A and B are shown apart, each in its own frame.
Chain A
Amino acid sequence: MGFGSLVSIAISAILVNNFVLSRFLGICPFIGVSKDTESALGMGMAVTFVMTLASIATWTINRFLLVALGITYLQTVTFILVIAALVQLVEMIVQKTSPTLYQALGIYLPLITTNCAILGVALLNEQEGYSLVESTVHGFAAGIGFSLALLLMAGLRERINYADIPQPLRGIPIAFITATLLSLAFFGFSGL
């Protein structure tokens, strides 16, 4: 496990296998919170934060509880439980220790307790057989990739607001078309 493999995991998670645009995970916040760049940034930061923590927590639980007892078929259920509890705990700690950070992240944290992108990171970590460090890097990079997609989308949608769009396409329909084009553009990275 060299530095090079970590870099390749990171680039893969950010660009090539971008969670939103290539794996189609976390579409709900991608459409819901991409109306302006400010909230997109907040959501992106919250997701990155939780993904990194969730990678560490689920890896530990998986290795020392599920694999040890030979009950890996319970992964999905266990991961949901662990991630939901973790997000709750993190929210409480942030609220207690840093009101400023809570103002910035607070409203987005409950939104991602059972987000499929976060569960996806945990399950992919296991599927790929990543070590603890690799899992952490993968989780963090996946969060960065998610933020990148969200910010790009928010920037595009802010511009689209000013464009003269045919009435039936206004709002969500044009957002879906934009997302499609963005996704196609990201598939260009698969040659990397």
Chain B
Amino acid sequence: MNTLVSSVVALGGLGVTVGLGLAYASIKLSVKVDPLIEKVRDVLPGINCGACGFTGCNAYAEAVVTENAKTNLCIPGGARTSVEVALTLGVEPEATRKLSARVLCQGGNAETVRKFEYQGVSSCHVLNQTAGGDNACPFGCLGQGSCAVVCPFDAIHMNENGLPEINISKCTGCGLCAGECPRSVIIVTEAEHAVDIRCRSTDKGGVVKKYCQPGCIGCGRCVKICPFEAIELKDSLARTLYEKCTSCGICVKECPQNTITRGPLFQRSAAPHTVHKQCCSIDN
């Protein structure tokens, strides 16, 4: 009987004391978090990719509320998130541009010469440090798919030829793949641009021809024919000036090496994609 009483009293007393103590502490030690920050964080995608320039979704939400950061900085979220953030804050949404990644290399297993057969761990970084990679082109894709591994949206897969393919409907343009690629083969630019010069080799034309069949040889025919002066030739490599390019596609036909291809988007709109409050219905 004595044990029963002391057990009930001791455990009950401990429970009540601890409970009351915690209740008191939660009032005394409560930290005021601006409820707006939480609301903004809830509408962000929550993948912490860092494409906005802040350390994560949390930091961006805080910056939007406290430092008046722009509402259109979340690149994976795109137009929809810009509108949702703006609605949460009660401000005008900023216009967004749809970005997408693209692979500036066509040197798959079939097109390029391989120096040796690689059998190590499937990481582009490791391969890049193993005798400079198996690809004879020192600028080309290594084909181990580190970009596909890092993509949080499952938008990249490696095709049979050993080149990454970007699923444009899944790609949000967050740029994680571009940062991951040890050879900077992937770039992120506005999704509207439909013409890409898919080569990164700055070697002389004769050298390029030895190791890669569709590589840029720096002949300069695209530069001459482009009516908008949107291509420049530097270090025997033609590069698109995306701000001038209108995606007319004349250079695609002109290129003797078939280095220039139509990009992922075939239709393009005249003006940058602008977002209005009315265009999306959001329950809030």
Contacts and interface: CB of A to CB of B under 8 A. Distances in A.
Interface size bracket, B side: 20 to 34
B150 to A, nearest CB: 11
B22 interface: yes
B250 interface: no
A141 B30 CA distance: 32
B122 A71 contact: no
Contacts of B11: 74, 77-78, 81
Interface string B115-134: 00000011100100000000
Interface stretch (B13-21, B95-103, B153-161): B13-21
Interface string B4-47: 00110011001100100110011001110000000000000000
Interface stretch (A10-18, A42-50, A88-96, A116-124): A88-96
A66 interface: yes
Interface string A95-136: 110000000000000000000000000000000000000000
Given A93-B29, A95-B31, A96-B29, A69 B10 contact: yes
Given A81-B14, A89-B25, A162-B123, A96 B31 contact: yes
Contacts of B122: 162-164
A69 B6 contact: yes
A153 to B, nearest CB: 18
Contacts of A7: none
Contacts of B18: 81-82, 85
B10 A92 contact: no
A64 B147 CA distance: 59
A70 interface: yes
Given A92-B29, A95-B31, A65 B14 contact: yes
Contact of B25 (A78, A92, A162): A92
Interface in B124-151: 126, 149
Interface in A32-68: 61, 65-66
A128 B264 CA distance: 68
Contacts of B6: 69-71
Given A71-B7, A81-B15, A163-B121, A89 B31 contact: no
B21 A85 contact: yes
B169 interface: no
A78 B14 contact: yes
Contacts of B26: 92
5 contacts: A61-B14, A92-B29, A93-B29, A159-B121, A161-B149
Interface of B: 3, 6-7, 10-11, 14-15, 18, 21-22, 25-26, 29-31, 121-123, 126, 149
Given A74-B10, A95-B31, A96-B31, 14 more contacts: A65-B14, A69-B7, A69-B10, A70-B6, A71-B3, A71-B7, A74-B7, A81-B14, A82-B18, A85-B22, A88-B22, A92-B30, A93-B29, A163-B122
